[in-house]
Amino acid sequence: MKFFVDTADVDAIRELNELGLVDGVTTNPSLIAKSGRDILEVTKEICDMIDGPVSAEVVATEYEAMVEEGFKLAEIAPNIAIKVPLTLDGLRACRTFSAEGKMVNVTLCFSANQALLAAKAGATYISPFVGRLDDINIDGLELIADIRTIYDNYGYETQILAASIRSANHMSDCAKIGADVATAPPAVIKAMANHVLTDKGLAAFLADAEKAGIKIV
């Protein structure tokens, strides 16, 4: 499973990238606003840092304006994935972008039917929101499994990009189901390395090494 980091914080992206844990980046208007920077400027900086796809989202809601904004975003760098909402206008824009060879991330997916439409429209990525479904007492992971089944049934090439990831457990669960990608905040990706028994074992090894006077250099 590929790891995308869900942030517009360039320092956080750089840190994870240096660890080899970033296959791509997802942003949205909320994350751009949180960064306090111009969307074109910060997106260009991220694209220069990351070899993989960088999702940049349109803010228009009507087809013609989405197309104008999407092609403007695509001019930033060749690794831009144009992000559009899962609406009828968004699906139409997705078809237009994909026909021009652009990567497209269709976002705000909350049902298997929506995911099926996105695949039909030629989406590169579909972004089902796990955590937001969990928030309303619907199993977000079940949606990932349903989309996996449908896509495998018909050989759709659209990649499942599990989004709205809230925990390290979400990451491993999505991997077990077969999500192609999971995008998560930096803190969640870092948390995947944590385990109380790792900490306990390391403390014991270090104590024994100090007691025995073990030095390597």
**CA 188 – CA 206 distance, rounded (Å):** 27
**CA 182 – CA 180 distance, rounded (Å):** 7
Q: Which DSSP helix (H) or strand (E) runs through 181?
A: strand 181-184
Residues recognised as catalytic: 83
Count how many residues are written for the chain: 217
**CA 109 – CA 162 distance, rounded (Å):** 10
Q: Which DSSP helix (H) or strand (E) runs through 106?
A: strand 103-109
**CA 212 – CA 194 distance, rounded (Å):** 27
